[in-house]
């Protein structure tokens, strides 16, 4: 190691180094000169004190006080580009002029959620927290040592037209001179948008501010930037405004950056964590491979705003853009920190690493924040901080955060503050929840299934291994659940002399062999237990590189054997119904069909006077369906189900309203302790409605564990219900 100060070793990127206390600017060449001319220079530390630092030249031994063998690293200016820079901030009071025209007193006391105060409250909390210095909140030019004001300007027509149509631009321009009546008329006609004579100005400033924020980051004037702008943009489509959005701010900014900085910015990631799907942004880049658009949003089968299938998981882009559009559609509300972090860990960050952007823009709606009445989710400021922190690691820190939605003024203020702190360099605050919801895990699993076609990093095992199923030439492949069912059937045939009750189709052929198995003399049994279950679960040991299951390390879990043995010990008749899953079969409808078939074609003609149902997993819906669709009460004495985390199914009484009460009295539905029906976040537990039967929360999670825990309670319930019958009939 050399102790020499070489000319090139102190070369700096051409940036200004600004002292954080007094704002003195020390140009790089001055530093260089100081170092080479003098052996000592003074460096002011953060407290403003001065320390003497010795700089040693290899030829000058006078200053070396330590052992000759020791290595001395000369003090050089830090070779860092990012740290000395400030975080950019876009804010302009003029964006508050765009506001809804009041048409009633109620609108005055209960204002539109896209309220001009949204940006003011964020600016205010930045000042209150000392991140910016602007005591009168009037939009000062010098806002202090941590943030740099990025002047907001109106976006130019040529910039806007990179995304929007001329008609769209002309229409918004025309609102500047519209009468109040006309503005209200257009407000009425639009899709959740409002207009006044300042809307066009506000929209151009919001859009222009977003462009300037991106420019400042790309040009290295600031290390990253926060654009506190409104109206928001991500719902504005190329041809039409919508969802409180007039121009698609982030899309316009991204298109202009790609156009004007073709050398330094070739690829952009837009991460949209607003609770709504950014249909406008998606549309702007659907066929553009230069922009990876990732949206995390409530979807709910397309029912949540904007209410189309554009936000579905299978919308992966078109043309050249296939594989650069990623939707993470939450099926329910109530999502929180653990769910968002899970999505980041499993999908967002891996695909961003693979895509390797030059710039990251966050479409930062804060309507997934805890307290937002529209989003009804629970993302904490800490979680926004963590997500920002992760995204900051991409694109050499080139990160721009642009405000989108978010309607609880307190929530958006504290969330934006958390983001701003991380942008400046603070570590994020702690997360509020750690275990993701089952709905989040399932959604992410689906996203991975769809997107692994486009992102290698999402594929299981080693990239070089082909994980697709080998071709089925000569029928060498067979489905595992068929093998398992065959084995179950063989056991029941040989050990207990079970028989098969065929399901005959219209042509008199059996559709599925061994789907319904019954104990011998089932026709004459007085008491019958009917088990309806999903295919047995396989606890599989998966080879991490090939994705293949190792059979010797894997186990089939058959929960029903215990029930069969118990029932046969009691001398009851037993019917075992297997509802296969997958391969074009929906086990909810097939369970319903099979049970109606069983009732109409077999049980009607049996001699049984007491029947108990026990359902396992999703298939239990067939039992509920049957009880609602046939008059079964004279024979059916108990309906038990172990559903774990599967969805609760309501009994819909088709014949007699009284069935619901009867069902409640004669049922036991056991859920996982984590089932969503017990309320989100573990706190405010709610009680499921009576139409779902008597729903009970187990102490455990996992179908098999619940069955283990509640087995005795279930069999006691069957015994009691049979006795009750005996008493009442005596």
Catalytic residue set:
235
Of all residues in the shown chain, the one whose CB is closest to Zn ion is 405
**Smallest separation (angstroms) from Zn ion to the CB of 380:** 18
Contacts of 171 (CB under 8 A, 6+ apart): none
Residue with smaller CB distance to Zn ion, 281 or 621: 281
What residues between 500 and 539 interact with Zn ion by CB under 5 A? Answer: none
Residue with smaller CB distance to Zn ion, 408 or 590: 408
Select the span of 37-45, 71-79, 287-295, 399-407 touching Zn ion (CB under 5 A): 399-407
Select the span of 86-94, 401-409, 543-551, 608-616 touching Zn ion (CB under 5 A): 401-409
Q: Which two tokens stand for residue 67?
A: 């052992």
Query: In terms of Cα–Cα distance, which of 153, 95, 155 is closest to 122?
Result: 95
Q: Which two tokens stand for residue 117?
A: 């105060």
Residue with tokens 């399901």: 503
**Smallest separation (angstroms) from Zn ion to the CB of 7:** 54
**Smallest separation (angstroms) from Zn ion to the CB of 271:** 14
Residue with smaller CB distance to Zn ion, 114 or 358: 114
Which of 357, 371, 405, 615 touches Zn ion by CB under 5 A?
A: 405
Q: How far apart are CA 327 and CA 270, in angstroms?
A: 12
Q: Is 272 in the site for Zn ion (CB under 5 A)?
A: no
**Smallest separation (angstroms) from Zn ion to the CB of 230:** 12
| Residue 610 parent element (H or E) | strand 610-616
Q: Is 276 in the site for Zn ion (CB under 5 A)?
A: yes
CA 381 to chain centre: 16
Residue with smaller CB distance to Zn ion, 403 or 522: 403
Q: How far apart are CA 401 and CA 416, in angstroms?
A: 9
**Smallest separation (angstroms) from Zn ion to the CB of 109:** 23
**Smallest separation (angstroms) from Zn ion to the CB of 666:** 45
Q: How far is CA 661 from CA 656, 664, 665, 689, in A?
A: 10, 5, 6, 11
Select the span of 115-123, 274-282, 380-388, 408-416 touching Zn ion (CB under 5 A): 274-282
Annotate 140-169 with three-state secondary structure. CCCCCCCEEECCCCCCCHHHHCCCCCHHHH
Residue with smaller CB distance to Zn ion, 233 or 535: 233
Query: In terms of Cα–Cα distance, which of 328, 345, 326, 445 is closest to 387?
Result: 345
* 3-class secondary structure, 575: strand
Q: Are strands 17-18 and 25-26 parallel, antiparallel or unpaired?
A: antiparallel
Q: How many CB atoms lie within 10 A of CB 573?
A: 24
**Smallest separation (angstroms) from Zn ion to the CB of 192:** 10
Residue with smaller CB distance to Zn ion, 212 or 274: 274
**Smallest separation (angstroms) from Zn ion to the CB of 379:** 12
Q: Is 274 in the site for Zn ion (CB under 5 A)?
A: yes
Q: How far apart are CA 316 and CA 448, in angstroms?
A: 12
Q: How far apart are CA 112 and CA 100, in angstroms?
A: 7
Q: Is 234 in the site for Zn ion (CB under 5 A)?
A: no
Q: How far apart are CA 41 and CA 54, in angstroms?
A: 7
Residue with smaller CB distance to Zn ion, 208 or 365: 365
Q: How far apart are CA 216 and CA 203, in angstroms?
A: 20
Residue with smaller CB distance to Zn ion, 330 or 616: 330
Number of residues in contact with Zn ion under rule CB under 5 A: 5
Residue with tokens 């599989």: 540
Select the span of 269-277, 459-467, 594-602, 650-658 touching Zn ion (CB under 5 A): 269-277
What residues between 337 and 376 interact with Zn ion by CB under 5 A? Answer: 365, 367
Query: In terms of Cα–Cα distance, which of 439, 344, 455 is closest to 393?
Result: 344
Q: How many CB atoms lie within 10 A of CB 683?
A: 6
- Residues that bind Zn ion in the complex, under the rule CB under 5 A: 274, 276, 365, 367, 405
């Amino acid at each position: 190691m050399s102790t020499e100060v070489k000319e090139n070793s102190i070369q700096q990127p051409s940036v200004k180094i600004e002292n954080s206390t007094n704002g003195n600017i020390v140009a790089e060449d001055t530093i260089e000169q100081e170092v080479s001319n003098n052996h000592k220079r003074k460096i002011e530390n953060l407290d403003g004190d001065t320390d003497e630092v010795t700089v040693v030249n290899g030829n000058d031994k006078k200053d070396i006080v330590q052992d000759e063998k020791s290595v001395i690293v000369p003090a050089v200016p830090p070779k860092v580009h990012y740290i000395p820079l400030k975080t950019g901030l876009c804010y302009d009071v003029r964006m508050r002029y765009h506001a809804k025209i009041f048409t009633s007193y109620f609108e005055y006391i209960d204002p539109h959620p896209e309220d001009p105060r949204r940006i003011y409250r964020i600016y205010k909390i930045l000042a209150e927290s000392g991140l910016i210095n602007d005591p009168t909140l009037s939009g000062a030019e010098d806002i202090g040592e941590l943030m740099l004001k990025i002047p907001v300007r109106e976006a130019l027509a040529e910039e806007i037209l990179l995304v929007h149509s001329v008609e769209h631009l002309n229409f918004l321009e025309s609102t500047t001179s519209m009468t109040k009546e006309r503005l209200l008329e257009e407000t009425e006609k639009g899709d959740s948008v409002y207009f006044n004579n300042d809307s066009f100005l506000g929209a151009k400033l919001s859009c222009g501010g977003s462009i300037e924020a991106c420019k400042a980051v790309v040009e290295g004037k600031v290390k990253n930037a926060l654009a506190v702008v409104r109206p928001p943009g991500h719902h504005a489509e190329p041809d039409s405004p919508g969802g409180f959005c007039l121009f698609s701010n982030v899309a316009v900014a991204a298109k202009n950056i790609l156009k004007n900085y073709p050398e330094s910015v070739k690829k952009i990631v837009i991460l949209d964590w607003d609770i709504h799907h950014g249909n406008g942004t998606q549309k702007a880049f659907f066929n553009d491979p230069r922009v990876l658009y990732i949206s995390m949003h409530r979807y709910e089968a397309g029912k949540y705003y904007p209410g189309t299938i554009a936000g579905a998981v299978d919308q992966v882009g078109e043309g050249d853009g296939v594989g650069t559009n990623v939707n993470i559609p939450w099926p329910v509300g109530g999502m929180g920190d653990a769910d968002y972090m899970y999505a980041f860990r499993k999908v967002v960050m891996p695909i961003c690493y693979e895509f390797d952007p030059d710039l990251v823009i966050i479409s930062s709606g804060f309507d997934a924040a805890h307290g937002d009445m529209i989003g009804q989710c629970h993302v904490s400021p800490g979680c926004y901080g963590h997500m920002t922190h992760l995204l900051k690691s991409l694109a050499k820190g080139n990160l721009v955060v642009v405000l989108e939605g978010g309607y609880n003024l307190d929530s958006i203020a504290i969330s934006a503050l958390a983001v701003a702190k991380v942008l400046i360099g603070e570590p994020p605050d702690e997360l509020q929840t750690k275990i993701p919801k089952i709905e989040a895990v399932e959604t992410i699993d689906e996203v991975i299934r769809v997107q692994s076609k486009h992102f290698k990093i999402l594929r299981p095992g080693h990239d070089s291994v082909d994980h697709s199923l080998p071709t089925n030439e000569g029928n060498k492949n067979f489905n595992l659940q068929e093998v398992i069912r065959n084995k179950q059937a063989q056991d029941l045939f040989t050990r207990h002399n079970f028989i098969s009750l065929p399901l005959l189709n219209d042509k008199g052929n059996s559709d599925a062999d061994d789907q319904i198995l019954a104990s011998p003399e089932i026709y004459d049994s007085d008491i019958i237990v009917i088990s309806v279950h999903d295919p047995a679960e396989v606890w599989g040991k998966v080879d991490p590189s090939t994705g293949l299951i190792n059979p010797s390390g894997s186990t089939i879990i058959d929960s029903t054997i215990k029930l069969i043995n118990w029932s046969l010990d009691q001398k009851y008749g037993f019917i075992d119904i297997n509802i296969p899953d997958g391969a074009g079969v929906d086990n909810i409808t097939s369970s319903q069909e099979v049970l109606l078939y069983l009732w109409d074609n077999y049980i009607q003609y049996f001699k049984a006077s007491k029947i108990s149902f026990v359902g396992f997993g999703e298939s239990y819906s067939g039992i509920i369906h049957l009880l609602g669709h046939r008059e079964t009460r004279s024979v059916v004495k108990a309906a038990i189900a172990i559903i774990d985390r599967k969805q609760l199914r309501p009994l819909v009484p088709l014949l007699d309203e009284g069935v619901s009460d009867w069902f409640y009295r004669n049922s036991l539905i056991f859920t996982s302790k984590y089932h969503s029906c017990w309320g989100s976040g573990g706190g405010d537990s709610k009680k499921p409605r009576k139409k779902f039967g008597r729903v009970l929360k187990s102490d455990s999670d996992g179908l098999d564990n619940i069955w283990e825990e509640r087995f005795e309670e279930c069999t006691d319930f069957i015994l009691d219900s049979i006795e009750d019958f005996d008493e009442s009939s005596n």
